[in-house]
């Protein structure tokens, strides 16, 4: 059965963040009245405190849990303890509070970082437990993986309808461009723009450029999350991605071309490469709830750069 979200009170944790804003807008686009959407702010509602989580879920029918302490590879190397603790405790408290309150459905957002370091490409959901994650982001990936374990355990014991979605790297207008915590696309956009502005001969980029990644436009991700919230009610995790694998080197070259930067790329092999390859098998999402990414990488990248140039 498809859930009619227009008749539900919906809590969107992380709803004021990068992806959260897209999810809230997609809910509104689909006819959910604004007054039925609640977006708690972390300053007033620290979900690491159980009482706050319990207060947040009161009167809610659907929880879409996007809130996370996360960032790029440098941020993961710098704060593995915080990333493990914050995400594990936040997720655990919120789902337990939702169960106690009789919430109808819990949509938890996981991460591709939960997959084993050496997973056959494209990553299939059934391979999720076949090894340890890539070391630089293992604490974050494992903390998020426990959200899936909790969801399946609560479904088994309590009949609690909790689902888990695994996303690839997200990007788009409104992304985080802070160099201390940004992911690869905004980090490179910022570096190339600064190099262009200063007429630098080179742009410095971490790693070797050989690892591959898959990217999903945030507006597309939001549509997938809402489709799953409406239609998917099974215990197995579901991948959300674009189905397009590309090397970091090719991403850098595309950004350089869009900025018409004439300098050269200076790779820094002492910087971490992270997982060698990342790309998802996306067949289940299409089969189970009809999701398929709509935005081409070229268009999504141009929109992201245009937004950054306009706002910085």
Q: Give the chain's residues under pLDDT 50.
A: none
d(CA 109, CA 101): 20
Across 126-272, the runs of DSSP E, i.e. the strands, are: 162-167, 169-171, 202-206, 212-217, 238-240, 245-247, 264-268
Question: Which pLDDT score, from 0 to 100, does residue 32 have?
Answer: 98
The two three-digit tokens of residue 151, written as one number: 């969801």
Question: Which pLDDT score, from 0 to 100, does residue 183 have?
Answer: 87
**Catalytic one of 22, 75, 115, 140:** 140
Task: Find tokens 């809610």 and name the residue.
Answer: 60
d(CA 304, CA 217): 9
Question: Which pLDDT score, from 0 to 100, does residue 290 have?
Answer: 97
* Each residue's pLDDT tens digit, 150-173: 999 999 999 999 999 999 999 999
232 catalytic? Reply is no
* pTM for this prediction: 0.95
Q: 5-171+214-243+277-294 adopts what CATH topology?
A: Rossmann fold (3.40.50)
CA angle (283, 118, 75) in 5-degree steps: 95
Question: Which pLDDT score, from 0 to 100, does residue 41 have?
Answer: 85
Domain locations in the chain as residue ranges: 5-171+214-243+277-294
The two three-digit tokens of residue 287, written as one number: 């089969």
């Amino acid at each position: 059965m498809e859930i009619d979200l227009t008749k539900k009170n919906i809590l969107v944790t992380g709803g004021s963040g990068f992806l959260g804003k897209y999810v809230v807008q997609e809910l509104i686009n689909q006819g959910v009245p604004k007054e039925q959407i609640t977006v708690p702010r972390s300053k007033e509602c620290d979900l690491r405190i159980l009482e706050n989580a319990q207060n947040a879920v009161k009167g809610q029918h659907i929880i879409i849990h996007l809130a996370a302490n996360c960032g790029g590879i440098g941020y993961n190397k710098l704060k593995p303890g915080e990333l493990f603790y914050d995400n594990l405790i936040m997720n655990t408290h919120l789902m337990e509070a939702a169960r106690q309150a009789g919430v109808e459905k819990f949509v938890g957002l996981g991460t591709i970082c939960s997959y084993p370091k050496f997973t056959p490409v494209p990553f299939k959901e059934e391979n999720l437990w076949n090894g340890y994650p890539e070391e630089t982001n293992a604490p974050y990936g494992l903390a998020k993986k426990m959200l899936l374990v909790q969801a399946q355990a609560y479904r088994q014991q309590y009949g609690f309808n909790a689902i888990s979605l695994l996303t690839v790297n997200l990007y788009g207008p409104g992304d985080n461009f802070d160099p201390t915590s940004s992911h690869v696309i905004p980090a490179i956009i910022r570096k190339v723009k600064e190099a262009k502005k200063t007429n630098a001969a080179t742009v410095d980029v971490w790693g070797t450029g050989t690892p591959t990644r898959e990217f999903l436009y945030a507006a597309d991700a939001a549509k997938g999350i809402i489709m799953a919230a409406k239609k998917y009610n099974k215990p197995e995790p579901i991948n959300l991605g674009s189905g397009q694998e590309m090397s970091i080197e090719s991403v850098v070259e595309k950004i350089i071309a869009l900025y018409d930067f004439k300098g050269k790329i200076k790779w820094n092999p002492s910087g971490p490469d992270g997982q060698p390859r990342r790309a998802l098998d996306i067949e289940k999402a299409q089969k189970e709830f009809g999701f398929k990414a709509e935005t081409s990488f070229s268009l999504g990248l141009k929109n992201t750069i245009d937004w950054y140039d306009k706002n910085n």
